Structure 1
Amino acid sequence: MRIALIEPDLQHAKLVDRLIFAGGHVCQHFTTSATFLQRATDEFFDLLITESWAGDHCAEDVIPRARSILPGLPVMMLITAPRECQIVAALHAGADDCLSKPVRGPEMLARVEALQRRAGLRRPRNRRRDAIGGYTFEPATFAVSFREVTVTLTPKEFRLALLLFNNLARPVSRAHILETVWARRRDAKSRTIDTHASRVRSKLQLRPELGYTLSPVYGYGYQLDAIPPETLTGGN
C-alpha cells in the first residue's frame, strides 16, 4: 500500500516512515500539504496520514482538497495529546480515524490495516498507473514507459520493478520480495530472484550513466538508487 504522510516534524516523520516500512507498506513523506497535493495529481496514494497542522494549512482544509484529486481517499489524522473535542472536530471534517502523536507502532499499523479493509482500495480507472522517478508503470498491460521508450515485462518482473521503485534508496529484503512478487512462496530459489533482478536491470536500463543503479545487498536483498544529475554531469 502506498501511504502519503504530511508531517512537518522530521523526527516524527522518520519514526512513522520506519513503522510503515516495517508493516510492508511504502511511505512518501511531505512537509506541507501543497507538495502532497501537487504530487497527488500525478501519482496514486492508498491512504493519507496527516498532522493536524499540515505544514501550511489545517488538516481540516486539506482533506476536501485531497479528495477532490483522489476521490474516496482514506485519511488518518495525527493529533498531539488529543482532546475529545479535537477528535470530534477531525471526524466531522472528514478524517476516517485519529491517532495520538507520537504514534505507537502496533496501534498505528493496526489502524492502517483497518482503514485498508474498510476502504477496499479499489483504484479508479484513471488512477491505475504509477509514475515514479521518470518511469510510468501500467499494471493492466505490465508495460513500463521511460525516456520515450515502452517495454513490456512479465508479471513477476513488473511487480519486482514496481516494488524496487516504491522503495527507492532503501534495501528490500529477499523475504519481502518473495512475499510481494511470488505471493509468499518460500520455495522460490534465491537465484530466481537474481535472474529477475538482472532482467529488470536490463529491460529498464538501470545503469549508472542513465541515472540508476540496482545493486545486490550482501546477505539481504536488493536496493535501487537514483544518481543525482550533478553526479552524472560531473558537477558542471
Structure 2
Amino acid sequence: MRIALIEPDLRHAEIVGRLLLAGGHACHHFAASAPFLAGAEHEFFDLLVTDAFCGDAAAEDVIARARKVLPGLPVVALMSAPRESELVAMLQAGADDCLSKPVRGPEMLARIEALMRRAGIRRPRNRAREMFGEYAFDVGRSSVSFRGQSITMTPKELQFALLLFTNMSRPVSRAHILETVWSRRRDVRSRTLDTHASRIRTKLELRPEFGYTLTPLYGYGYRLDRIPVENPDTTDKPPPAERIVETL
C-alpha cells in the first residue's frame, strides 16, 4: 500500500517507515501537515498515518482537510500514552484507528491490514497459483488459462492483472499500481501503465461479451468489473406462437 506518514519526530518516523517497508508497504514521510496536503493534491495515498500533533496543526484538523483532498482516506492516529477521553476525541474527529507510541511492529501492521480490508483495498496474495472465476493464474509460468486457452504474459502484465482481479469492482489508483507492479519507481510514464492495461484487456479478453469490463478512471486509475452476459439464445426472440387446440 502507498502510505503517507505525518510524524515530526524523525527518529520515530524512521522506525515506522522501516516497519511499513518490512510489511510490504511504501511509506512517504512528511514532517508536517502542510507538505502532505500539498502533495496529496497531485499524488494518491491508500492510507494516512499521522501523529496526534502534525508539527503545524492538530491531527483532528488535518484529518478533515485531508479528506477534502482525498475523500474516504483511511486514517490511523499515533498517540503518546493517550487517555480514554483523548482516544474518544480522536475517533470522533474522524480517525479510523489509534495506536500508542512508540509503535509495536506486528500490532501496527495487523491493524493496517485490518483497516485496509474494511476499506476494500486488497493486495495480491503471494501464491504460485490463483483462481478468479474461469481465470487461472500461474505465477511460476507467467501464464493465465481461461476458456480452454493459455496465454503467456510478461511478469508486469501478470502482476498488474492480478492486482485488478484481486480488487474486482474496486477502483485501483495509478499510485497503487505503480507501487505494486513497478516497485515504487517514479520514472514510469503514465503511457506505460495505459499500454499495459490495454494489453491485459486484449490478452485476457476482458470484454462485455465475455462478462468483464476494464474501465479507465480519468485522473485516478482503473477498475475491473464482472458483468452479467445475456444469453444469445434468449435475446431478441419473438414469444412463442399461441397454440389453439380445437376440440371436436
TM class by smaller structure? 0.5 to 0.7
Name the SS for the 1:66 alignment partner: helix
CA distance in 2, matches of 1:59, 1:141: 36
Q: Partner letter of residue 173 of structure 2?
A: R
Residue 81 of structure 1 is matched in structure 2 by: 81
- Return the letter of the residue paired with 1:141: D
Change (3 A) 1:137 1:111: farther
Aligned residue number for residue 67 of structure 1: 67
- Is residue 129 from structure 1 mapped to residue 174 from structure 2 by the alignment? yes
Q: 1:137-170 CA deviation, whole Å, 9 max, x = no partner?
A: 4686246xxxxxxxx9977xxxxxxxxxxxxxxx
Instruction: Please give the per-residue CA displacement for 1:38-85, whole angstroms capped at 9, x wherever unaligned.
Output: 111111100000000011000000001100111100000000011101
User: Any conservation in 2 of the 1:59–1:77 contact (CA below 8 Å)?
Assistant: yes
Note if contact 2:19-2:105 (Cα within 8 Å) is conserved in structure 1. yes
2:194 to 125, 131, 141: 141
- Mapped contact 2:120–2:170 kept (Cα < 8 A): no
What is the correspondence of 1:106-125 to structure 2 with a 5 Å cutoff? 106-121=106-121
Tell me, in whole angstroms, the C-alpha distance in 1 between the residues paired with 2:102 and 2:93: 22
- How far apart, in 2, do the equivalents of 1:79 and 1:69 lie? 24
Aligned to 1:102: 102
**Structure 2 stretches of 5 or more lacking a match?**
122-166, 179-184, 201-248
CA distance in 2, matches of 1:19, 1:27: 9
In structure 2, the residue matched to 1:55 is 55
How many residue pairs get matched? 146
Find the residue that maps to 2:194 and give its secondary structure.
coil
Q: What code does the residue aligned with 2:82 have?
A: P
**Distance in 1 between the 2:108 and 2:8 partners?**
18
Over 3 Å counting, the alpha-carbon distance change for 1:2 and 1:142 in structure 2 is farther
Classify the secondary structure of the residue corresponding to 1:94.
coil
Map of 1:189-228 to 2, 5 A cutoff? none
Tell me by how many angstroms 1:88 deviates: 0.2
Amino-acid identity (%):
58
How far is the alpha carbon of 1:129 from its aligned partner?
2.9
1:45 counterpart residue number: 45
**If the length of structure 2 is used for normalisation, what is the TM-score?**
0.54
C-alpha separation in 2, matches of 1:139 and 1:61:
38
- Residue equivalent to 1:207: none
2:2/2:25 contact within 8 Å kept: yes
* Higher normalized helix content (fraction of residues): 1
Partner of 2:24: 24
1:129/1:136 contact within 8 Å kept = no
Structure 1, unmatched stretches of 5+, are 144-151, 156-236
TM-score, normalization by structure 1: 0.56
Residue of structure 2 in register with 1:168 after alignment: none
8 A Cα contact 1:128 1:138, kept in partner: no
RMSD: 2.6
Instruction: Kindly provide the CA deviation profile for residues 102-125 of structure 1, in whole angstroms up to 9, marking residues without a partner as x.
Output: 000010000000110000137986
